[in-house]
Amino acid sequence: MAMEHPISQIAKISGGNIELAFAGDGPTVLVSHGTLGGFDQALAINQLFDQSAFRFLAVSRAGYL
């Protein structure tokens, strides 16, 4: 089954740009993954948790735009 990804956004921060996406509802939880890849990897981790209980902020690793 294909996973539907939210549309990513670009945030301009002091160190450059970072790609991010939000998924789910509820209190926001930052997801930072330790593997190579972008926000899509963090969104895959989110699927392990209750999407109706939390809003996940998935970010790409630095320099991964």
Please report which confidence band the pLDDT of residue 55 belongs to, taking 50, 70 and 90 as the band edges: very high
- Record the tokens describing residue 21, joined without a space: 């996406």
Asked if residue 55 belongs to a domain, the reply is yes
Whose structure tokens read 């301009």?
12
> What SS3 state is found at 13?
strand
Asked if residue 4 belongs to a domain, the reply is no
Asked if residue 45 belongs to a domain, the reply is yes
Condensed to tens digits (0 to 9), the pLDDT of residues 26-52 reads 999 998 877 777 888 888 888 888 888
Asked if residue 1 belongs to a domain, the reply is no
Asked if residue 13 belongs to a domain, the reply is yes
Average pLDDT score, the chain: 83
Which pLDDT value is given to residue 5? 62
Q: How many domains does the chain have?
A: 1
- Residue 11 buriedness (CB in 10 A; 0-12 / 13-18 / 19+): exposed
* Domain encompassing residue 21: 9-59
Helix, strand, coil shares of the chain, percent, nearest 5, are 10, 35, 50
